[in-house]
Structure 1
Amino acid sequence: MESMNENPIQGDHQVAKAELMRGHDHLWNIIFSYVNSMSLKCAAELGIADEIYRHGQPLPLSVLLTKLSILPSRTDSFRRLMRLLVHCGLFARSTAGDEKEETYALTPISASFLVTSKAENMSPFVLAMIDPVDSHHCLSRWFTTADEPSTAFDLFHGKSVFELSGNNPEFNANFNRGMAADASFMAKLILQQCGNDVFGGLRSVVDVGGGSGALATAIAGAFPQTKCAVFDLPHVVSSLQGNPMVAAIAGDMFEFVPPADAVILKWVLHDWNDEDCVRILRNCKKAIPPKEEGGKVIIIEMVMKLENEEDGSIHDETIETQLLFDVFMMALAPGKERSEAEWKSIFLAAGFPGYSITPILGSRSLIQLFY
């Protein structure tokens, strides 16, 4: 009697077909994943989270359309946008009333990071990172053409991101607002998690590359006895004049770093290659006293976790975020995101035999250097 089981050959064919379909869907997901970013940018520009937050409860679609001045002819298109944003976890959808009109509410993500009146608001960072100056479209040309600039950004724009910041006021303002939003958020986390251990007892702190001074201002507010300063390029620190909480010092970190008990480098070293990182850290070493006198360098950066490393505390999404950001930085600047082993090599070359790493967020850590 013939078996009712599936023919092995036919079964193999079905498995192969299923794998092919999954592979096809996965490829499409990668191709169109940028639409998530563009939709997030649209939500930030429209201020969707702000309108829902001000309403204080789930907001009916008809009211949301009116408050955002959405054209009536775009109603169905806006509904489709919200459908994707709900799927991404940025908003929640439900129905209310006799007519079962759809309503939208905030989720923990949008409530925390997309409401502009919140301290943790990251909308400026969203708009700065998802910027039309993106240069990843010419990565393949950059990889395969000799004697091209050091980054794809240079190739795409004919100048570095730092030169563009100095020459393009709009780009510079957007970039600084984005960095300030991130610095404010990180400052709150650091001060809550390890503020006293890191900053307690310091007489002076200088934030190298500190931009608009958000991090230094937060430290000065939490530790009023500590003199805080921001050290950055002249066109950056010009906006700090008149800030009573932090001093503004203009200069080039490759030439010198102002003296202080502690030097902060937040998102600075990942912009530069290993040799330049060593140069910067050597200048930092000249600026601070030894460990016995309380001197330290405080670095806020990613410490990459590779996929073959066993660490149950690291989630797959965190690893993917680090990998994505590393390639993002590859196109933007000559630096990179680094593993602990890569960081250690730089620290030793710069004359810092001692360091500690404290995770402060899933993808980033606080590193303290001593000599």
Structure 2
Amino acid sequence: MDIELLQAQVGLWNLTYSYLKTMSLKCALDLGIPDAIFNNGQQMTLSQLHSVLLLPPSKKSHLYRLMRLLTHIGFFIEKNASACSEPVYGLTAQSLLVIEKNESANMLPYVRFCLLNKWLKSSLYISDWFLQDSKESPFELTNGCTLWEITSREPAVNKMFNDAMVSSSSLFNDYIVRHGDYIFKGIESLVDVGGGKGAMAEVIAKNFPHVRCTVLDLPHVVCDNPNDGIVKYVSGDMFSYVPPANAVFLKWILHDWSNENCIRILRRCKDAIPSREAGGKVIVLEAVVGLTSAMISEEPQLLFDMLMFMVCEGEERDENDWKYLFKEAGFTSYKIICTIGFSSIIEVYP
């Protein structure tokens, strides 16, 4: 058999069964494996892990096979691979991101939310969605309602969503603190549109006290947030009104929406800020497809793009797409000021 065909077959198998990587990750989180290793001094033998997890004796060999795969894909590390001794597992940078006690960068709420059955089930019906002339997303067709409808009527899912958004901000908070002198120079007031529980706004307000921060979000999102702190919370709809400020901040908001709705949101933002000469601007944190920082591939951007049309009406956009939206919303210019991982900070000027 041709060697190229054998390689192609292996590649096809790898692609076909890649979903088992995701399911193995979900299994590890459900069992609490990363936290168990962390609580044991960041290393653990197979026997120790099997005992702490309280698994039946018959599952020990299967636990080894699960850990072998997760070690192979880089989620854990095997510290002792000799043939005569038991494996000793440790944490990698990836697994440290899902440790409950990791206050500086805990992505566990985000990953747990993304692995809900509501999301996973939707991915099984993408091909059915393509065959239907429907504006509903695969998520809507599968669950009978939009993600936003679920979060508005199911408090538990709403909390999971907001916690996920807070955890997804953690890695960007440090960058904002280190580079905020440039980003927030001359700004006295800022509205974080769709800012949820205010995690990003609080970081900005604490580290740049000259900036008065307001969070605008839907009533069920901000209803429990106190208004006696350093961040003010306003209940409202970004499609109708954005409170006036020197600057408006949009973090991972526009990728949830169609071009038409993005233009509506951006126009409300433009209405809220002064002229460029007076320091007005919109700060957008989004992926710019094709732009990534060092050592980051474009693949996560493309995977997020699939997620956007699967769950909602949104998409990940390249620079020409962003340029079109900004122009149609009435802005005169924009500047991509930096790229963090696979997301970029874009300043948009009226």
Determine the C-alpha separation between the residues in 2 that align with 1:203 and 1:312: 31
Determine the C-alpha separation between the residues in 2 that align with 1:256 and 1:242: 20
Task: Give the structure 1 partner of residue 128 of structure 2.
Answer: 141
Correspondence for 2:176 among 190, 197, 215:
190
| Between 23-32 and 65-74, the greater mean CA deviation after superposition | 65-74
Q: 1:57 to 1:140 in 2, by over 3 A?
A: closer
Correspondence for 1:86 among 63, 67, 71:
71
Correspondence for 2:99 among 101, 112, 115:
115
Task: Give the structure 2 partner of residue 281 of structure 1.
Answer: 266
Q: Which amino acid aligns with 2:216?
A: F
Structure 1 residue 41 and structure 2 residue 20: aligned? Answer: no
Q: CA RMSD in A?
A: 2.1
Structure 2 SS opposite 1:304: coil
C-alpha distance after superposition, 1:56-98 (max 9, x if no partner):
2421222222222233221111111111110111111133999
Task: Give the structure 2 partner of residue 217 of structure 1.
Answer: 202
Task: Give the structure 2 partner of residue 155 of structure 1.
Answer: 141
Correspondence for 1:357 among 328, 336, 340:
336
Determine the C-alpha separation between the residues in 2 that align with 1:293 and 1:47: 52
Determine the C-alpha separation between the residues in 2 that align with 1:312 and 1:68: 39
C-alpha distance after superposition, 1:159-210 (max 9, x if no partner):
1111111122222222211111002222222322x21111233211111111
| Between 280-289 and 114-123, the greater mean CA deviation after superposition | 114-123
Correspondence for 1:124 among 97, 106, 109:
109
Structure 1 residue 103 and structure 2 residue 88: aligned? Answer: yes
Q: 1:243 to 1:68 in 2, by over 3 A?
A: farther
Q: Which amino acid aligns with 2:169?
A: A
| Between 24-33 and 335-344, the greater mean CA deviation after superposition | 24-33
Q: Is the 8 A contact 1:189 1:360 kept in 2?
A: no
Q: 1:221 to 1:43 in 2, by over 3 A?
A: farther
Structure 1 residue 241 and structure 2 residue 226: aligned? Answer: yes
Structure 2 SS opposite 1:195: helix
C-alpha distance after superposition, 1:244-271 (max 9, x if no partner):
2311111101100011111111111111
Q: Is the 8 A contact 2:99 2:106 kept in 1?
A: yes
Q: Is the 8 A contact 1:149 1:155 kept in 2?
A: no
Determine the C-alpha separation between the residues in 2 that align with 1:99 and 1:22: 33
Q: Which has more radius of gyration?
A: 1
Correspondence for 1:179 among 155, 161, 165:
165
Q: 1:18 to 1:289 in 2, by over 3 A?
A: same
Q: Which amino acid aligns with 1:209?
A: G
Q: In percent, how many aligned pairs have the same letter?
A: 42
TM-score of the aligned structures, taking structure 1 as reference length = 0.88
Structure 2 SS opposite 1:133: helix
Structure 2 SS opposite 1:368: strand
Structure 1 residue 77 and structure 2 residue 62: aligned? Answer: yes
Q: 1:211 to 1:27 in 2, by over 3 A?
A: same
Task: Give the structure 2 partner of residue 9 of structure 1.
Answer: none
| Between 53-62 and 159-168, the greater mean CA deviation after superposition | 53-62
Task: Give the structure 2 partner of residue 206 of structure 1.
Answer: 191
Q: CA deviation at 1:127?
A: 0.7
Structure 1 SS opposite 2:347: strand
Determine the C-alpha separation between the residues in 2 that align with 1:227 and 1:261: 10
Determine the C-alpha separation between the residues in 2 that align with 1:202 and 1:359: 19
Q: Return structure 1 stretches of 4+ with deviation > 4 angstroms.
A: 96-99, 311-315
Q: Is the 8 A contact 1:205 1:261 kept in 2?
A: yes
Structure 1 residue 302 and structure 2 residue 287: aligned? Answer: yes
Q: Which amino acid aligns with 1:335?
A: G
Q: Is the 8 A contact 2:222 2:233 kept in 1?
A: yes
Structure 1 SS opposite 2:223: helix
Determine the C-alpha separation between the residues in 1 that align with 2:233 and 2:54: 42
| Between 41-50 and 196-205, the greater mean CA deviation after superposition | 41-50
Q: Which amino acid aligns with 1:322?
A: Q
Determine the C-alpha separation between the residues in 1 that align with 2:28 and 2:276: 47
Correspondence for 1:252 among 237, 241, 245:
237
Q: CA deviation at 1:312?
A: 9.7
Structure 2 SS opposite 1:95: coil
C-alpha distance after superposition, 1:125-169 (max 9, x if no partner):
1111122102121112211122x2431111111111111111222
Q: 1:202 to 1:362 in 2, by over 3 A?
A: same
Q: CA deviation at 1:242?
A: 5.3
Correspondence for 2:46 among 54, 61, 65:
61
Q: Which runs of 5+ in 1 are unaligned?
A: 1-13, 306-310
Q: 1:341 to 1:314 in 2, by over 3 A?
A: farther
Determine the C-alpha separation between the residues in 2 that align with 1:213 and 1:163: 21
